[in-house]
Structure 1
């Protein structure tokens, strides 16, 4: 009897966790706050960003990097903002492809496309440590792995960013991909689902 219970109970718990949602429709907004280390050609920087995604799918982000006075970095610090798109969650959920295990579903749905603008303060030269008025372009992708089988909780992730500073966009620089400030970022983040009130999910889901 004990052996049967020990087998059945985890199976029931797994079935409850594997509804394909994992709490992501308990609210209409996903808040992500992350901090980590960014690696670029000149060294390592502190990177932090926050984002808000509607239905865990799309929304704005703000990013800040700090080099703490390293002269070999292309930018002493930078600030940027843009949009994130997580295109897989709603499509996979609608097609009933969210079948578990939870960590695998959440990892797959974390695939993110990133597009935004940034302003950098050079680490050397006459304008060192002062933000330039000319914005640059950043494009990237990212994925993250949940530490818990839930849409809310801690995640570890990685992002790859290609950056084009303003002078490169207008043809005043021939710097290569790495020298333009491309970043590989490793993060520890907290994801939190909350209800903004834009959509009443509890009523709509109860009516199914």
Structure 2
């Protein structure tokens, strides 16, 4: 199922829920320049051997989405739970399949080391062919933690990379009230769900 970004975000705002209620936040004020993502604690999904932006071999489908093709919203659902809306912001169709990579930064843009792993939730990845303006989705869960603890990372920026792409783009962070969320995000032990073509079940695990 293909879902436009504006419609997807609008339908995910059933009631006002600020980021402060989640205890999490991250600004999107940093320029969307490329950087290497934080290493995952689990093997990433197999990348297209032709690389992002090239034709998938033999399937006649659209090229794989590159990170720079995407506009990403991190939509906080509750403490420790968010939905990623991955929107094709380019002028041509592209495909997402597998898992995104995540990277976190402090206010000074230095990287934050956060343990993370990819999980088959709500199931195996389902390839999503995205026309310009259409979105795919994935769930993210993490352990909330005390910022004063030595095993708690505090980030102010979330970056997201497309499957098979070593670059990342700055994500916009949004509360369920539809407002951009700004502040610090105490985070530990991140689980990244698989990419799905619809919102159904992506955070219900």
Q: TM-score, normalised by structure 2?
A: 0.28
Q: Specify the structure having the higher radius of gyration (Cα).
A: 1
Report the structure, 1 or 2, having the larger helix content. 1
Q: TM-score, normalised by structure 1?
A: 0.28
Which structure dedicates a bigger proportion of its chain to strand? Answer: 1
Q: Which has the higher contact order (CA 8 A, sep 6+)?
A: 2
